Amino acid sequence: MHKLESSMKQVEALRAELAGYYCEDESTFQLDDAFKVIRAFCDKLQKAVKVPYPTVRLFLGCELHSIATSVCNKKRI
């Protein structure tokens, strides 16, 4: 039980740190909402990179296309 409490304290500390990083109100910041926003962003970015490569390169640039493909193809939890 002690290990669970310790882990929960760590999660809470990381939640507070993430709220600060995103300049959100710590008292209302929820991790599940943040993860939903990040997932929606990755889903939309993946759809965008499926556009024919010359078009993506024109609008996003080669480097951003590469980053988007790399970041959003990570294993989902």
Report the pLDDT value the prediction gives residue 22, as an integer from 0 to 100: 87
Report the pLDDT value the prediction gives residue 42, as an integer from 0 to 100: 87
Report the pLDDT value the prediction gives residue 29, as an integer from 0 to 100: 93
Yes or no: say if 15 and 31 are a contact pair by the CB < 8 Å rule: yes
Domain containing residue 54: 2-72
CA pair distance 25, 11, nearest whole angstrom: 17
Q: What is the pTM of this model?
A: 0.56
Report the pLDDT value the prediction gives residue 53, as an integer from 0 to 100: 62
Domain count, the chain: 1
Is residue 20 situated within a structural domain?
yes
Q: How far is CA 72 from CA 40, 43, 45, in A?
A: 10, 8, 8
Report the pLDDT value the prediction gives residue 48, as an integer from 0 to 100: 77
Is residue 40 situated within a structural domain?
yes
Tell me, what DSSP letter sits at residue 74? Answer: S
Q: With a cut of 70, which residues of the chain have pLDDT below it? A: 52-77
Is residue 77 situated within a structural domain?
no
